[in-house]
């Protein structure tokens, strides 16, 4: 079991308040938080903000509500899980007021509980720092799949988001462009803990040539 500070419920209330606000501060505030699922706990070290229909072309909700992205329209605190490249799951935390789509992609983290379980799921990985380094690897290490879609992350469900035991100070946070997006390339809405070895590598989107294999998430 993962141990949390004594003020856990007060901290959860503050986290809930953060998530109903604008997506960029919510993304920054999620650094250092823990996501627990499948017997593994990961400390979040890298995130990306997506503002939905508010002029953010890379967002899955940019063109409006669909069956795939419906959970992005709220309420805040729920999980938006999607499948990419026909083989990978990625998980986002829904943010903002109900009815306005926005979400934070959890890009990378450090496995802090259940290391043996994460290693078994990611048996080809040599370094522990790479177990959840990238959004697809993070989901694989935690065993997250479509069954988590729409679940409330601040409750006691199969995936549980908990506040940082020690908030990440502002001077330890770096910001820059999001990875591999097809538009708004230079918007600095990716946030990460500076110098952390679990942070994924930056890659700017490069259009695929016909017949080429698609780039895969880190």
- Domain chopping of the chain, boundaries: 8-62+72-193
Beta bridge partners of 35: 42, 161
Write down the pLDDT at residue 79: 98
CA-based nearest residue to 135, from 208, 85, 204, 78: 85
Give residue-wise pLDDT tens across range 28-54: 999 999 999 999 999 999 999 999 876
Write down the pLDDT at residue 71: 96
Reported confidence tier of residue 213, pLDDT bands at 50, 70, 90:
very low
For 155, other C-beta atoms within 10 Å of its C-beta total: 12
| Cα–Cα distance for residue pair 142/127, rounded to 1 Å | 16
Mean pLDDT of 12-35: 96
Q: In sequence order, what are the residues at sequence separation of 6 or more whose Cβ sits closer than 8 angstroms to the Cβ of residue 47?
A: 27, 28, 30, 31, 104, 105, 106, 107, 190, 191, 192
Give residue-wise pLDDT tens across range 172-196: 999 999 998 877 788 999 999 999 9
| Cα–Cα distance for residue pair 71/130, rounded to 1 Å | 29
Reported pTM: 0.88
Write down the pLDDT at residue 216: 34
CATH number belonging to domain 8-62+72-193: 3.10.300.10
Write down the pLDDT at residue 207: 53
Mean pLDDT of 84-111: 93
| Cα–Cα distance for residue pair 107/134, rounded to 1 Å | 5
């Amino acid at each position: 079991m993962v141990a949390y500070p004594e003020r856990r419920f007060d901290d959860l209330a503050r986290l809930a308040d953060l998530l109903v606000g604008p997506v960029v501060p919510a993304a920054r505030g999620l650094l250092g938080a823990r996501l627990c699922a499948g017997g593994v706990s990961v400390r979040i070290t890298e995130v990306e903000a997506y503002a939905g229909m508010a002029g953010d072309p890379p967002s899955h909700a940019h063109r409006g509500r669909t069956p795939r992205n419906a959970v992005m329209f709220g309420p805040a605190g729920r999980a938006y899980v999607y499948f990419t490249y026909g083989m990978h799951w990625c998980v986002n935390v829904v943010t903002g007021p109900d009815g306005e789509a926005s979400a934070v992609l959890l890009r990378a983290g450090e496995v802090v509980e259940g290391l043996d379980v994460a290693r078994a799921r990611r048996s080809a990985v040599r370094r522990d720092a790479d177990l959840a380094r990238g959004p697809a690897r993070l989901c694989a290490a935690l065993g997250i799949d479509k069954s988590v879609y729409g679940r409330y992350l601040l409750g006691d469900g199969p995936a549980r988001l908990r506040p940082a035991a020690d908030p990440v100070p502002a001077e330890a946070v770096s910001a820059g462009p999001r990875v591999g997006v097809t538009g708004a390339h230079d918007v600095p809405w990716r946030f990460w803990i500076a110098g952390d070895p679990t942070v994924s590598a930056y890659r700017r989107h490069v259009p695929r040539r016909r017949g080429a294999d698609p780039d895969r998430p880190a």
